[in-house]
Amino acid sequence: MQKNRTDLDTLHYVPQPIISHRSLCRTYERHGKRLKLYFVFVIIIGIIIIAYMPCLQKKIKGTLKMPFSLLIKPAGPDCNLNCKYCFYSIKDCLFGQGPHRMSNAILEKMTCDYLKLGLGVSSFAWQGGEPTLMGLDFYKKAVELQKQYGRDGQIVSNAFQTNGILLDDGWCKFLNEYKFLVGISLDGPKKYHDYYRLDHSGKGTFDKVMAAIEKCRKHEVEFNVLVLLNDKNVIDPDGLFDFFVSQNIKFLQFIPCVENDPKTGKITSFSITPEQCGNFIIRIFNLWKNYGPDKLSIRLFDSMMHYILKQKHTDCTFGWLCDDYIVMEHNGDAYCCDFFVEPEYKLGNIMETPIEKLLSSNVKKDFAERKKQLSNKCFVCRHSPICRGGCLKDRLVSNYNFSDSSYFCQSYKLIFDKILPELTWILSTRF
C-alpha cells in the first residue's frame, strides 16, 4: 500500500461529465455548416465501421489502456424505500440477509487498485440500493483515500445516484465541496411519484425528494433528475414535461421500465409497451424542441446529437460493446453490469484479484462481445449503426436470448425515424 501523502490537495476533483448540447455548442458552431452533407453519409459510414470494427479491435487490443468507470454499490441492494418496480431489491438472495455494508478494507483496496491505473479520468459512480445508507463519514473516508492514492494532478470524478430522502445540509455541503454529480430519482408530479416510490411504511416520498432538491440548490450541488417511465406516468408526457419545466429542472434522463415477473415469467404490470415508449419520447421531443433545446438537457437527445457529430453515443444503451464499467458490490464482488449481477457474470473479488485482471477476465470480455450478437433483423435495419441492438437486458425479455431484437426495437424505429432528421436540422441551424 502507498504511504500517506502530504500533498492532499493536488488531486483535481471534477464533476462527473454531462455531455449535453451546452457542452457541445462550440462543436456545433464549428461543424454546423457541414451537417446537412454529413448526415447523408451517416449510414454509409456506420456500415463501414460495422464491417471493419472486428479487425480494428484486434489490432488495438492490448495496446491501449481503455478508460472505464466503477459503479459501486456500497450498501448492496439495501434501500430505505420499497419501490414496487425496483429490479435490484431481490439481489439480497446473493448476499444473505442484511444489512450489507462495504468495509473500509474493501473501500481502500478498490480505490488503490483503480487509481493506480492512471486513467485520464477516474470515475467513481456510487449507487445502490441506496448509497446514503452508508452515512456521510463513509464518503469522507472515500475522498481521503482518493487523495491518498491519487497521483499529483490526477482527475477524479464522483457521481451519486440517490432517492434523496436523507440529503440534508451536511450532505449537500460535502457533495458541493468535492463536486459530486448527484442523480435524484423523481417520477414526475406527486400523483405519479407517490404511486410506486413509497417508503417501507407505505407512505409517499415526493415531499421529501422535493425538499432534497431544494437543499441541493441551496448548496449549489450539481444534480440531474432520473425518471423511470412506468405504466402510470408514460401516458402523460405533457404533464411530466410541464412539471419539470415548472420546477426549473435542467437535466433529465428517462429510463423505460420493462421487467419480467420472476414468479410467472410474464412482463410485469408496471412495465411499458414499446409503442408507449416511442410515443412518449417523440412527444417529449416535440415539447423540448418548442420549449428551446438550449434550455433543457435530455440525455437521450444529447447522446443522439453526440452520435451525429462524432459517431459515438454517450449513452451505453447504444454502445458498440458493453465494457464501459464494472460493478463493485459491498463485499468486493465484481460483476459485468448492474443488470447482470448474477453468478454467471461474476468477475471475481477485489480482495483476491487486482482490478485490472477483473476487467480483462474472460467473463468480462465475453460479456462485452455479446453486444455484437445482433438479431438478423438488425443487419437489414437502417438504424443499426446508431442503435446497435439496444441494451442487452432488453433483448432477454421474451426468450432470454442475446441474439433477439430488443423489446424496445419498435420504439427505437419510431424515435430514430422522427428525431434524427430533426436533430440534424437543429444542430445545423440553431447552434
Residues assigned a catalytic role: 338
Q: Torsion angle of alpha carbons 327, 329, 334, 335, nearest 10°?
A: -50
Helix (H) or strand (E) holding 183: strand 181-185
Classify strands 346-349 and 333-335 as parallel, antiparallel or unpaired: antiparallel
Judge contact between 230 and 272, C-beta under 8 A.
yes
The CB density around residue 226, as the number of other CB atoms within 10 Å, is 18
What DSSP string describes 285-304? HHHHHHH-TTT-EEHHHHHH
Please state, in angstroms and rounded to a whole number, the distance separating the CA atoms of residues 257 and 394: 10
Radius of gyration of the chain (CA): 21
Please state, in angstroms and rounded to a whole number, the distance separating the CA atoms of residues 135 and 176: 16
Half-sphere exposure for 249 (CA within 13 Å, toward CB): 29
Instruction: Report the b/e string of 332-361 with b at 16+ CB within 10 A.
Output: bbbbbbbbbbeeebbbbbbeeeebeebbeb
User: Per this entry, what is the length of the chain?
Assistant: 431
Please state, in angstroms and rounded to a whole number, the distance separating the CA atoms of residues 9 and 154: 11
Q: Which three cell numbers stand for residue 114?
A: 483503480
